């Protein structure tokens, strides 16, 4: 109770003693990328249309498909379409919603915009629908990825109509947190659905050596299980629906405060302030709590083991002093008060 209350006061919501107990054993922390290591507010910096479709129409179609998605990338696509409207002198904020909207976890979304079947997502989504990319699309993606940009493809009626490249800055505290975890003998790993080039660039920026990219939600959970099979306690830090299976699979699941409801529900610990430094706070609090519990046991034994023979009258033949039942009863609250005082430190 004391530890969970102290955690809550520091912006770390711990859902029960089991999570608190497990966190002190953590040897590996697995981080998602978008919205966890990065700010989670991608911005479209480049748009390429591979058809004769006007760029405004292209962006409107992409936004219509994405508007009902909670993913940060989807929000960036919608925001880009709205900015483009302003450039064309249009003031309407309303985005037409796609019909038959469907989320493809770890890949993208699909839906019908007017009479067009629209897919917005990554290469895995296109491959799953047997949509060929072509040299021009591959070249644009490669150029974007070399610049550490995330590339989103938009297919209309079975053909790639265009792509949007976006950037998402790294959280200012990320590098320091990874470094501090290393000093605590904890290894940091990144697992993301994003492309290898962008994932590797972000990992290098924050100081993470081991990366798993282009991984779908179930693949993330599988990576967690692989690490656990080595006998290692694993924590997962994520923020989205795509992270939920991994959050559940981990020994300790930590959700960023700005996460989706699904991720928060799946997590054992919620980092309310969405600050990565609270990953350290949670683990450190667990370690200190377990150390304090051990100290309380030692204190209780050290206090009571010699006291029990005295209470039984072992010193009476030598001193003529005996302890009555009332004396012993009065001593118990004092013991408890000492332990409670130690626990609150």
Poorest-pLDDT segment among 97-106, 112-121, 193-202, 301-310: 301-310
Q: Tell me: the pLDDT tens digits for 64-123?
A: 999 999 899 999 999 999 999 988 877 778 899 999 999 999 999 999 999 999 999 999
Beta strand pairing call for 233-238 and 252-256: parallel
Question: What is the H or E stretch that residue 84 is in?
Answer: helix 72-87
Q: How many CB atoms lie within 10 A of CB 57?
A: 12
Pair of tokens at residue 334? 């004092």
Q: Are strands 252-256 and 269-271 parallel, antiparallel or unpaired?
A: parallel
Assigned CATH class of 2-39+169-284: alpha beta
Domain ranges of the chain: 2-39+169-284, 43-167, 286-343
210-212 and 187-191 strand pairing: parallel
Q: Which two tokens stand for residue 150?
A: 């995330």
pLDDT for 319 beyond 50: yes
Alpha helical stretches, state H, 106-260: 123-128, 134-146, 174-183, 196-206, 217-228, 244-249
Angle at 167 between CA 205 and CA 140, to 5 degrees: 110
Give CATH superfamily name and number for 43-167: Calcium-transporting ATPase, cytoplasmic domain N (3.40.1110.10)
State the catalytic residue, choosing from 32, 168, 239, 278: 32
Listed in sequence order, the DSSP H helices in the chain are: 2-9, 17-23, 55-66, 72-87, 123-128, 134-146, 174-183, 196-206, 217-228, 244-249, 261-266, 277-304, 307-312, 316-319, 325-343
Q: What percent of the chain has pLDDT over 90?
A: 66
- What CA–CA distance (Å, rounded) separates 295 from 256? 32
Question: Is 32 a known active-site residue?
Answer: yes
């Amino acid at each position: 109770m004391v530890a969970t209350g102290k955690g809550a006061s520091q912006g770390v919501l711990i859902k029960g003693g089991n999570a608190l107990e497990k966190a002190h054993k953590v040897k590996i922390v697995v981080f998602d990328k978008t919205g966890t290591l990065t700010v989670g507010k991608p911005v479209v910096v480049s748009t390429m249309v591979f058809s004769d479709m006007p760029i405004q129409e292209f962006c409107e179609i992409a936004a219509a498909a994405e508007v009902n998605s909670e993913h940060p990338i989807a929000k960036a696509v919608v925001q880009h379409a709205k900015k483009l409207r302003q450039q064309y002198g249009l003031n309407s904020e309303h985005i037409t919603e796609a019909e038959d909207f469907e989320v493809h976890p770890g890949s993208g979304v699909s839906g019908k915009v007017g009479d067009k079947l629209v897919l917005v997502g990554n290469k895995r989504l296109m491959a799953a629908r047997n949509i060929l990319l072509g040299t021009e699309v591959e070249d644009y993606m490669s150029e974007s990825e070399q610049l550490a940009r995330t590339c989103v493809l938009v297919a209309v009626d079975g053909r790639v109509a265009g792509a949007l490249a976006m950037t998402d800055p790294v959280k200012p505290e990320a590098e320091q947190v990874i470094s501090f975890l290393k000093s605590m003998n904890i290894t940091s790993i990144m697992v993301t659905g994003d492309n290898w080039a962008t994932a590797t660039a972000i990992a290098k920026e924050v100081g993470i050596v081991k990366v798993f990219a282009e991984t779908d939600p179930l693949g993330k959970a599988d990576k967690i299980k692989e690490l656990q099979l080595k006998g290692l306690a694993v924590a997962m830090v994520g923020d989205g629906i795509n992270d939920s299976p991994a959050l559940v699979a981990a020994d300790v699941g930590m959700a960023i405060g700005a996460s989706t409801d699904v991720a928060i529900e799946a997590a054992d610990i919620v980092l309310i302030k969405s600050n990565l430094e609270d990953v350290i706070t949670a683990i450190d609090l667990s370690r200190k709590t377990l150390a304090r519990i051990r100290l309380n046991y030692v204190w209780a034994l050290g206090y009571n083991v010699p006291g029990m023979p005295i209470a039984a009258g072992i010193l009476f033949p030598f001193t003529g002093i005996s302890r009555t039942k009332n004396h012993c009863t009065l001593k118990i609250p004092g013991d408890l008060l000492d332990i409670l005082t130690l626990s609150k430190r």
